[in-house]
């Protein structure tokens, strides 16, 4: 039903992951995603984020679905590099199957291993750093990738203690959002705000007189 609503609303594609709340088998995952494919004519991007669904998309599930032309690729936010490397092997049989990394901490290694791109939350705060990392990896500049990886790790401190609310606050400091996350999350407190501002200043992302 949600897939049909998205199509009716004008969506260009669906992003579909594993069912959440209760653990599911690889076969159940495949049936779930095939149901979404059957409900509309839209293409699908798979999404692996077991931190939220509690069940990783099984490699066998992804492998089976990659044979379907309407499955364009996968965004993997798990951060498990051995799993990600297995995903990259799917490109041998289907070069146009896109494998995207969603974890900042695995971004540099993933790009050097052959990822098609990145979709990290941190790109909302420091898009220039992520773009530089992608470009360095594509030209094979390992030294620059290693340096940018350290920048990414330090910039991730914007939500190290406050989670998604910290990312909202950082975006607000950059004029991109109100800084108020959806319920039940609460805006970050004064100490976290000060810590986030310090990180952003350190990387030249805020003018000296910026307010929190």
The catalytic residue positions are 47, 75
Q: Where are the alpha helices (DSSP H) in the chain?
A: 2-8, 26-39, 50-53, 59-65, 81-93, 107-113, 127-138, 142-155, 164-173, 190-202
Q: Which two tokens stand for residue 92?
A: 């041998």
Residues 195 and 36: their CA atoms lie apart, in Å, by: 42
Q: The tokens of 142 are what?
A: 């390992």
Measured between its terminal Cα atoms, the distance across the chain in Å is 41
- Bridge partners of 75? 47, 100
Tallying the residues shown for the chain, one arrives at: 212
Q: How far apart are CA 167 and CA 187, in angstroms?
A: 10
Half-sphere exposure of 190 (CA within 13 A, CB side): 0
């Amino acid at each position: 039903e949600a897939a049909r609503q998205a199509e009716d609303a004008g969506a260009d594609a669906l992003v579909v992951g594993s069912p959440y709340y209760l653990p599911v088998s690889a076969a159940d995952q495949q049936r779930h995603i095939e149901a979404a494919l059957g409900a509309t004519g839209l293409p699908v991007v798979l999404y692996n984020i077991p931190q939220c669904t509690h069940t990783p998309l099984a490699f066998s599930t992804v492998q089976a679905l990659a044979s379907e032309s309407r499955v364009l690729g996968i965004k993997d936010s798990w951060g498990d590099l051995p799993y990600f490397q297995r995903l990259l092997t799917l490109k041998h049989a289907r070069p146009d199957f896109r494998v995207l990394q969603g974890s900042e901490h695995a971004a540099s290694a993933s790009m050097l291993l052959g990822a098609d791109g990145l979709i990290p939350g941190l790109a909302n705060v420091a898009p220039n750093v992520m773009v530089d990392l992608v470009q360095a990896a594509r030209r094979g500049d390992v030294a620059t990738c290693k340096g940018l990886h350290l920048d990414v790790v330090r910039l991730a401190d914007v939500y190290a203690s406050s989670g998604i609310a910290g990312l909202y606050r950082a975006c607000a400091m950059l004029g991109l959002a109100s800084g108020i996350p959806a319920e039940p999350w609460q805006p970050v407190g004064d100490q976290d705000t000060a810590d986030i501002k310090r990180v952003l200043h350190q990387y030249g992302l805020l003018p000296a007189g910026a307010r929190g």
